[in-house]
Amino acid sequence: MPSIYARLTGFYRINKPYCLLLAAILCSPVHGQNTLVPAGQNPYQPDAFPDRIILTATQNPAITQSVSWRTHAAVTDSYAQISIAGDSPALHLTAELVKGKNSTLDTMNGEGRHHQVVFENLAPDTLYAYRVRGDETWSEWFQFRTASDDTAPHTAIYFGDAQNAVKAHFSRVIREAFSTAPRAQVMVHAGDLVNSSAGDNHDDEWGEWFDAGSFINSMIVNVAAPGNHEYRAQESGPRLLIPQWPVHLPAAGNGPAELMSTVFYMDYQGVRYITLDSQQALQSDEMLQIQAAWLRETLSNNPNNWTVVTYHHPMFSVSLGRDNPRLREHWQPIFDEFNVDLVLQGHDHTYGRGENVASGASGQLNGAGPMYVVSVSGPKMYMIGDSAPETMDRLAEDTQLFQVIEFTPEKIIYQARTVTGQLYDAFDIERLVDGSKRVTDKRPDTPQRLCTNPEERTGSSCWGGNSHTELDLDHAH
């Protein structure tokens, strides 16, 4: 039998024009920054079928649940059905029809209708099935479990920036996370879900983000903070929130009036999840102070065992050339005063985890201050800054990660895993009888991960945002 090489070269001699055309297609750049959508294709146009179906936070997820989705603009009424989940397929016989609200949004993919229904008067700690209406059709049935109305264990998954080449690279991160923690009830996103660079509003990037998460977004409550890439620059004045954010990820509605689309809290089985808008804080003194005042009020009236705060720009930056002193001036003292437990951040495209005490940054694990984490789930990678080891106990470059966090009444169990599922960092925070905290470092005895890119490593960058937008046969094996 001829060798593989002989068979391939023989095929090439006979089919040379076809092979050259195929190579040209495979090596040509993908149309549009950060997406896999080729020129002339529109896979993310809204149509009769409901898509982008996602569960989002409410103030009291024990008895309410928000769901959002998209159709073409001709679907003018927003309907969903919900039933206690049973073992029979006859869900339609027990389902309640719920009407919601909607708005239209015209994007590069055409005009779409964005729907939201809030299910109310639900039973705590109960498995429900629901579906949403399209144009003379329905979505599939999805299931979710309401929160308990008391303190109880649950698991959350936390992601840093997805941002670039989302379908190509974030997909395996969120799917590995779901495989690792399939019974998770909350997903936290620390900003820059998409890139939204200058130009049009890049609706294809949102299509890819929803493709990556697929049914997972429809079954687990999403708590998302906006990043700088969810804000688009104008010719003058401050950046503005992109229009997809409030229709895809409606907030819980309990934030300050000026920031109702991006700042909120959710109480979930003994954990208060607080979402802040660091982009607005850093571009406006007024918005910084409004959030500080709201944060103080929200923390002063917090009956939960644990407090988790998420926002985008790190309190203590990990990557080269970044620093956010105004957050340390206005937010850090409040975190310290109210003994916030976890602060989950993004933006730096590196990994860093370290504890801070009230007197300043410290590498000592003594339970006196919040544990700050910076992570990244997408393919853009930066270099670790020289000062990062002063504030962080575990660091990494060039590594896509997700974090699984288990909450019990007495303990937080944190694990950071790489996209292949390998444990990279871990710690426990234990609540002691006297109310103090004890932190136990459980990181594995493995080397710190550093940038491995031999071609692009320049200055602060290991992998740039556009490093992954071409199909290159020269690097295929």
Q: What is the CA radius of gyration of the chain?
A: 23
Structure tokens at 41: 């294709």
Look up the CATH superfamily of 51-145.
Purple acid phosphatase-like, N-terminal (2.60.40.380)
Question: What angle do the packed helices 4-14 and 16-27 form, to 10 degrees?
Answer: 100
pLDDT at 190: 98
Q: How many CB atoms lie within 10 A of CB 45?
A: 14
Reported as half-sphere exposure (CB side, CA atoms, 13 A), residue 477 has a value of 0
Residue 465 binned pLDDT confidence (cut-offs 50, 70, 90): confident
Strands in 397-459 per DSSP E: 401-407, 411-418, 423-431, 437-441
Torsion, Cα of 465, 471, 475, 477 (10° steps): 130
More confident residue, 131 or 10: 131
pLDDT at 444: 98
CA-wise closest residue to 404 among 442, 368, 433:
442
pLDDT at 33: 58
CA-wise closest residue to 177 among 12, 404, 386:
404
What is the per-residue pLDDT across 418-435, written as a single tens digit (0 to 9) for each? 999 999 999 999 999 988
Evaluate if residue 15 carries a pLDDT over 60.
Answer: no
What is the per-residue pLDDT across 124-176, written as a single tens digit (0 to 9) for each? 999 999 999 999 999 999 999 999 999 999 999 999 999 999 999 999 999 99
- Per the DSSP assignment, residues forming a β-bridge with 405 are 156, 414
Q: What share of the chain is helix, strand, coil (3-state, %, to 5)?
A: 25, 30, 45
Q: Which sequence spans correspond to the domains of the chain?
A: 1-30, 51-145, 154-441
Residue 327 φ/ψ, nearest 5 degrees: -65, -40
Evaluate if residue 469 carries a pLDDT over 70.
Answer: no
pLDDT at 368: 66
What is the per-residue pLDDT across 403-416, written as a single tens digit (0 to 9) for each? 999 999 999 999 99
Evaluate if residue 207 carries a pLDDT over 80.
Answer: yes
Strands 342-345 and 306-310, sheet pairing: parallel
Q: Residues 352, 190: contact at Cβ < 8 Å?
A: no
> Which uninterrupted H or E stretch holds 214?
none
pLDDT, average across residues 202-226: 97
- Distance between CA 189 and CA 209 in Å, rounded? 12
What is the per-residue pLDDT across 220-245, written as a single tens digit (0 to 9) for each? 999 999 999 999 988 888 889 999 99
- Distance between CA 309 and CA 332 in Å, rounded? 11
Q: 3-state class of 39 per DSSP?
A: coil
pLDDT at 159: 99
Residue 19 φ/ψ, nearest 5 degrees: -65, -40
Lowest-confidence segment of 22-26, 96-100, 464-468 by average pLDDT? 22-26
Whether 51-145 and 154-441 share one fold: the answer is: no
pLDDT, average across residues 181-200: 89
The CATH number given to 154-441 is 3.60.21.10
Evaluate if residue 32 carries a pLDDT over 80.
Answer: no
Q: What's the pTM? A: 0.91
DSSP 54-101: EEE--S-TTT-EEEEEEEETT--S-EEEEEE--SSS-HHHHPEEEE-E
Q: Residues 191, 162: contact at Cβ < 8 Å?
A: no
Q: Residues 430, 417: contact at Cβ < 8 Å?
A: no
Q: How many CB atoms lie within 10 A of CB 158?
A: 27
Evaluate if residue 456 carries a pLDDT over 90.
Answer: no
pLDDT at 357: 55
Percent of the chain with pLDDT over 70: 87
pLDDT at 34: 80
Structure tokens at 358: 């009230």
More confident residue, 211 or 434: 211
What is the per-residue pLDDT across 303-342, written as a single tens digit (0 to 9) for each? 999 999 999 999 999 998 899 999 999 999 999 999 999 9
Structure tokens at 204: 């294809």
Q: Residues 307, 338: contact at Cβ < 8 Å?
A: yes
Q: How many CB atoms lie within 10 A of CB 281?
A: 26
What is the per-residue pLDDT across 339-389, written as a single tens digit (0 to 9) for each? 999 999 999 999 999 986 544 444 445 556 899 999 999 999 999 999 999
Residue 40 binned pLDDT confidence (cut-offs 50, 70, 90): confident
